[in-house]
């Protein structure tokens, strides 16, 4: 990999550029700094010896690119190369590109594995994107108009593909995030073109601001070594509609009000009965007192500038913390069964990680503006850019920018996150709600939502529907015309609001609410019932869970057992490992909650990607291929024995408790784990402690387990396919890496064929096989999985009702034919079309 050396007269400037380049590449590129001279009174200058040492420090046979700030630095670098006097100097190139922009572009190019020549070209073209963001009257420093800017490298070899966008809301933040993730890793220059505008395909905000609507033609243009691979990745993603469904059911109320998506009403009609009519965005009836909610952007502190390095550190710390919070929100939302809703926060992460945003911050900081004021200014500019787009849907994304802005600003100034404490159920009234605000609402206390602004396509509306909270928007002057504490009635389907209902209106609304609750109870009753196919085949529908609270939700949702207890949640975010007694009580409580229904406890499944504070795991370059799951437990026997003891003791009192080992690859690993379990059982028996060996199963989540499935099936009582991990290992694609997200689908032909092999091995051995990955909870896949011979599906509790309905709509023989058709498909787009 090409290395970078930054030569500057100013140590502070060089450190800032270094920090920025490190942020852009996540430390993947070796970067050294040679800046200033060893003279406290006159530190500005360059030192040939220091430059020589910096080059030697990061020297790579693939090349070293030296970036300099001023002409005299070139002389010092030339002298350094003369002093080296070796063949190494042939692999060192001095670059005349602008220091900051050149270092950023060169670092990203080096991290992508480009050659020294290509890295140099990227550095020289660093200003191109900046000038293209300016208007047509902008001039280069020498007065040359932007329309004669140098073209990208290899532009004469550019190839392109076009796609007619079918996404209902065009290419907004989430599809833009998917595009960046799918193509950014390829060794190529990649652009997107629409409306005669061309932008970098590696900037999420630039893509989103192209204002690509449904029906527009979007061109992907690429040149360079891996141009064709990049175009293929784009095409695959496009065929999957950029990871969005274009067939999502839209509520009738949303269709009726599609013309009034985001603007607030200028004139709300009130009839003679005091009824106000706005836009219903989440169906249901709510009756409760009004509560005014006001969220504001924290104000920047009035303070002096601390210097570039300190200001940049403050920004990176706040940005990293915000990314972590957003990742947790995404995980929590996905864990609740709302995968598509969790993508909102994944897109927020992508927006925050946009290199254009970091560049803007760096520029402001270099102008000696403190980070809070810089951030406030950039957020306002970015949000305004979204507001200026003609698409109403894209205008609504300005709310997402403000949401991100508020989160980071809070972290910058050290303000604690706002916590809402309510003593009674209410109807929340607000000007608007951010996705973060909405996601943290408690449906037991927030009975309804009324907003002045927003619409059916806003992320707050999507989350309100996911939470099952009735909601209405477009009620102009709501905050001034409503009285906090007064009882109101809303109908989220019709968009009707009564801010001062009469006793008769309250009585009528109460009857309608009771009717809805009765219907919900009937649906709940059907959800509790066991699911059979139309020809009488039983399919077990189990739940995945991590906490005791999850267990209650799972039972109420109709779970017929637990297919996966994620025991690692007991071990995480602790100063020391959980005790044997603590684990024993936890496992016993969950088993007891489900009576005689099967409960499968997965042993500790953790690795280098999820470090434990009390366990010395060591650094791993690729933790997903490292010491994790059963491998980690077998190398940390004392930790593992504590868990096995707790499980053995719990099994003695709860015969419904089963144990499952994760990340099994070979029969030898399984034998070792079973032997350790037997040793623990014997030791407990010798100590007079009641214990019992449970039935044992394994996770099928690596290709080796599929290949060894025939041998492994002889040793266990059941298989459970972890399709999330199996997918990433089969496709050699990290499921957390946006750059290869287009490959990460459990419906990839290769993954489905792996599952087919595991099913055959299990059934040949006479043991059942289930699925506990995300695909188990997708009703579109239920028929196919039944047809493939899957005996059990385990999922997030919120998915159980829909999957049971899908089971009841399935005919077993038809499902077999459907599965055969799917397994014979050659490509992912073909399979998606069938489903």
| Cβ neighbour number for residue 696 with a 10 Å cutoff | 17
pLDDT at 23: 66
pLDDT at 72: 72
Write the DSSP assignment of 173-198 as a string of letters. Answer: HHHHHHHHHHHTTSSSEEEEEETTEE
809, two tokens: 């709509």
Average pLDDT, the chain: 81
Place of tokens 């550190």: 313
Confidence of residue 252 (pLDDT cuts 50, 70, 90): very low
| Cβ neighbour number for residue 94 with a 10 Å cutoff | 18
Tell me the CATH architecture of domain 253-295+420-513. Answer: 3-Layer(bba) Sandwich (3.50)
Q: What does the pLDDT look like over 55-90, one tens digit per residue? A: 888 888 889 999 998 767 887 888 888 777 666 788
Which of 1-10, 466-475, 758-767 has the weakest average pLDDT?
466-475
Residue 382 phi, psi dihedral angles, 5° rounding: -65, -45
| Cβ neighbour number for residue 191 with a 10 Å cutoff | 21
Whether the CB-CB separation of 739 and 113 falls below 8 Å is answered with no
Looking at residue 549, the DSSP 8-state letter turns out to be H
- Which of the following CATH numbers is that of domain 535-834: 3.50.50.60, 3.40.50.261, 3.20.20.60, 3.20.20.150? 3.20.20.60
State the Cα–Cα distance between residues 349 and 325, nearest whole angstrom: 9
Query: Which residue in the list 95, 194, 633, 772 is annotated as catalytic?
Result: 772
Residue 134 phi, psi dihedral angles, 5° rounding: -80, 165
Confidence of residue 24 (pLDDT cuts 50, 70, 90): low
From the DSSP assignment, how many helices (H) and strands (E) are in the chain?
33, 24
Query: Is 169 labeled as catalytic in the residue annotation?
Result: no
Higher pLDDT, 745 or 690: 690
- Roughly what angle, to the nearest 10 degrees, separates helices 99-111 and 355-366? 150
- Which of the following CATH numbers is that of domain 3-145: 2.130.10.10, 3.40.50.620, 3.40.50.510, 3.30.56.10? 3.40.50.510
Place of tokens 């607000």: 430
395, two tokens: 């205008």
Looking at residue 388, the DSSP 8-state letter turns out to be T
Average the pLDDT over 164-191 and give the result: 81
Distance from the Cα of residue 377 to its chain's centroid: 27
Residues sharing a CB contact under 8 Å with residue 668, sequence separation 6 or more, in sequence order: none
Most confident region among 649-658, 727-736, 792-801 by mean pLDDT: 649-658
Could you check whether 308-413 and 535-834 share the same CATH topology? no
Nearest residue to 284 (alpha-carbon basis) of 469, 450, 430: 469
Confidence of residue 275 (pLDDT cuts 50, 70, 90): confident
Average the pLDDT over 250-263 and give the result: 35
Residue 388 has pLDDT above 80, yes or no: no
Whether the CB-CB separation of 783 and 803 falls below 8 Å is answered with no
Whether the CB-CB separation of 51 and 78 falls below 8 Å is answered with no
Residues sharing a CB contact under 8 Å with residue 464, sequence separation 6 or more, in sequence order: 281, 282, 438, 449, 471
Residue 337 has pLDDT above 60, yes or no: no
Q: What does the pLDDT look like over 186-243, one tens digit per residue? A: 888 899 998 888 888 877 667 877 888 888 899 999 988 888 888 888 888 888 788 7
Q: What does the pLDDT look like over 699-755, one tens digit per residue? A: 999 999 999 999 999 999 999 999 988 998 999 987 655 456 567 788 899 999 999
State the Cα–Cα distance between residues 493 and 490, nearest whole angstrom: 9
Average the pLDDT over 502-525 and give the result: 81
pLDDT at 552: 85
Fold of 151-243: 3.30.1340
pLDDT at 665: 94
Average the pLDDT over 444-468 and give the result: 72
Query: Is 772 labeled as catalytic in the residue annotation?
Result: yes
Place of tokens 């006793």: 503
Q: What does the pLDDT look like over 589-638, one tens digit per residue? A: 999 999 999 999 999 998 755 567 677 766 666 777 888 889 999 999 99
Whether the CB-CB separation of 287 and 516 falls below 8 Å is answered with no
State the Cα–Cα distance between residues 364 and 358, nearest whole angstrom: 10
Looking at residue 141, the DSSP 8-state letter turns out to be T
State the Cα–Cα distance between residues 524 and 801, nearest whole angstrom: 8
Most confident region among 30-44, 415-429, 706-720, 772-786 by mean pLDDT: 706-720
Residues sharing a CB contact under 8 Å with residue 197, sequence separation 6 or more, in sequence order: 210
User: 720: part of which helix (H) or strand (E)?
Assistant: strand 718-721
Higher pLDDT, 315 or 125: 315
pLDDT at 25: 67
pLDDT at 26: 61
Residue 451's SS3 state is strand
Which of 412-421, 422-431, 503-512 has the weakest average pLDDT?
412-421
Domain ranges of the chain: 3-145, 151-243, 253-295+420-513, 308-413, 535-834
pLDDT at 698: 97
Residue 692 has pLDDT above 90, yes or no: yes
Average the pLDDT over 477-499 and give the result: 86
Residue 250 has pLDDT above 50, yes or no: no
Query: Which residue in the list 172, 459, 654, 681 is annotated as catalytic?
Result: 459
Confidence of residue 173 (pLDDT cuts 50, 70, 90): low
Residue 135 has pLDDT above 70, yes or no: no
- Roughly what angle, to the nearest 10 degrees, separates helices 398-413 and 371-387? 170
**β-bridge pairing 276-277 and 496-498:** antiparallel
686, two tokens: 């010798």
Residue 290's SS3 state is strand
pLDDT at 407: 84
Q: What does the pLDDT look like over 524-575, one tens digit per residue? A: 677 888 889 999 998 999 999 888 888 888 898 899 999 999 998 888 767 7
Residue 256 has pLDDT above 50, yes or no: no
Using H for helix, E for strand and C for coil, what is the string for 459-488? HHHHHHHHHCCCEEECCCCHHHHCCCCCEE
pLDDT at 266: 37
What CATH code would you report for 308-413?
A: 1.10.274.10
- From residue 555, alpha-carbon distances to 301, 528, 543, 549, 550 in Å are 49, 8, 9, 10, 9
State the Cα–Cα distance between residues 209 and 99, nearest whole angstrom: 28
Distance from the Cα of residue 358 to its chain's centroid: 20
Nearest-10 Cα torsion for 696, 752, 796, 242: 150
Residue 823 has pLDDT above 50, yes or no: yes
């Amino acid at each position: 990999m090409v290395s970078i050396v930054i030569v500057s007269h100013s140590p502070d400037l060089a450190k800032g550029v270094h920090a920025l380049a490190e942020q852009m590449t996540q430390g993947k590129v070796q970067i050294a700094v040679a800046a200033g001279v060893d003279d406290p009174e006159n530190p500005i200058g360059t030192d040939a010896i220091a430059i020589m040492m910096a080059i030697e420090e990061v020297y790579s046979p693939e090349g070293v690119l030296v970036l300099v700030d001023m002409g005299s630095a070139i002389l010092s670098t030339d002298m350094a190369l003369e002093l080296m006097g070796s063949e190494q100097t042939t692999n060192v190139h001095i670059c005349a590109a602008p220091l900051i922009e050149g270092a950023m572009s060169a670092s990203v190019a080096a991290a992508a594995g480009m050659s020294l020549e290509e890295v140099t070209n990227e550095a020289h073209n660093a200003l191109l994107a900046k000038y293209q963001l300016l208007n047509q009257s902008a001039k280069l420093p020498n007065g040359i108009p932007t329309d004669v800017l140098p073209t990208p490298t290899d532009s004469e070899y550019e190839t392109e593909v076009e796609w007619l966008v079918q996404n209902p809301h065009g290419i907004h933040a989430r599809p833009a995030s998917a595009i960046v993730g799918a193509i950014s890793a390829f060794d190529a220059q990649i652009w997107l073109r629409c409306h005669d505008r061309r932008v970098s395909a590696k900037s999420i905000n630039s893509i989103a601001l192209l204002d690509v609507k449904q029906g527009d033609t979007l061109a992907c243009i690429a040149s360079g070594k891996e141009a064709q691979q990049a175009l293929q990745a784009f095409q695959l993603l496009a065929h999957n509609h950029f990871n969005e469904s274009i067939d999502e059911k839209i509520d009738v109320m949303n269709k009726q009000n599609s013309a009034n998506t985001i603007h607030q009403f200028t004139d709300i009609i009130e009839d003679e009965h005091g009824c106000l009519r706005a836009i219903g965005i989440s169906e249901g009836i709510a009756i409760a007192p009004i509560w005014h909610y006001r969220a504001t952007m924290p104000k920047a502190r009035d303070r002096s500038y601390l210097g570039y390095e300190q200001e940049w550190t403050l920004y990176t710390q706040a940005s990293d913390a915000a990314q972590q919070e957003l990742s947790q929100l995404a995980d929590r939302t996905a864990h609740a069964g709302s995968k598509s809703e969790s993508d909102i926060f994944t897109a927020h992460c992508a927006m925050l990680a946009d290199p254009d945003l970091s560049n803007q911050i760096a520029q402001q900081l270099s102008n000696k503006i403190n980070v809070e004021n810089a951030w406030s200014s950039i957020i306002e500019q970015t949000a305004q850019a979204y507001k200026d787009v003609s698409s109403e849907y894209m205008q609504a994304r300005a709310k997402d920018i403000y949401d991100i802005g508020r989160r980071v600003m809070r972290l910058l100034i050290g303000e604690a996150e706002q916590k809402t404490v309510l003593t009674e159920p209410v109807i929340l009234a607000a000007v608007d709600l951010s996705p973060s605000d909405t996601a943290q609402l408690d449906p037991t206390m927030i009975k309804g939502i009324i907003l002045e602004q927003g619409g059916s396509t806003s992320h707050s509306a999507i989350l309100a529907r996911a939470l099952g909270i009735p909601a209405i928007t477009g009620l102009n002057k709501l905050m001034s015309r409503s009285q906090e504490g007064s009882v109101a009635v809303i109908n989220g389907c019709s968009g009707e609001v009564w801010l001062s209902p009469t006793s008769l209106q309250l009585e009528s609304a109460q009857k309608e609410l009771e009717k809805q609750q009765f219907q919900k109870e009937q649906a709940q009753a059907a959800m509790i019932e066991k699911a059979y196919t139309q020809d009488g085949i039983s399919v077990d529908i189990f739940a995945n869970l991590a906490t005791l609270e999850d267990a209650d939700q799972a039972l109420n949702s109709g779970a017929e057992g637990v297919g996966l207890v994620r025991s690692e949640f007991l071990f995480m975010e602790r100063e020391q490992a959980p005790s044997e007694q603590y684990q024993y009580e936890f496992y016993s409580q969950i088993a007891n909650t489900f009576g005689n229904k099967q409960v499968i406890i997965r042993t500790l499944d953790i690795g280098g990607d999820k470090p434990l504070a009390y366990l010395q795991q060591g650094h791993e370059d690729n933790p997903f291929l490292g010491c994790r799951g059963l491998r980690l437990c077998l190398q940390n026997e004392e930790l593992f024995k504590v868990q096995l003891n707790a499980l053995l003791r719990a099994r003695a009192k709860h015969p419904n408790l089963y144990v499952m080992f994760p990340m099994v690859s070979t029969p030898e690993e399984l034998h070792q784990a079973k032997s350790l379990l037997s040793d623990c059982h014997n030791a407990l028996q010798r100590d007079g402690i009641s214990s019992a060996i449970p039935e044992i199963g394994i996770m099928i989540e690596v290709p080796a387990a599929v290949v060894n499935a025939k041998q492994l099936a002889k040793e266990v009582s059941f298989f459970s396919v972890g399709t999330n991990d199996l997918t990433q290992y089969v496709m050699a694609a990290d499921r957390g890496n946006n750059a290869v997200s287009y490959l990460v689908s459990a419906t990839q032909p290769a993954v489905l064929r792996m599952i087919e092999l595991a099913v055959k091995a299990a059934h040949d051995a006479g043991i059942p096989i289930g699925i506990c990955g995300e695909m188990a909870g997708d009703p579109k896949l239920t028929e196919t999985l039944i047809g493939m011979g899957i005996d059990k599906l385990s999922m997030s509790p919120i998915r159980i009702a829909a999957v049971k309905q899908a089971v009841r709509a399935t005919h077993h023989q038809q499902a077999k034919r459907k599965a055969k058709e799917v397994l014979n498909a050659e490509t992912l787009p073909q399979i998606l079309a069938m489903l």
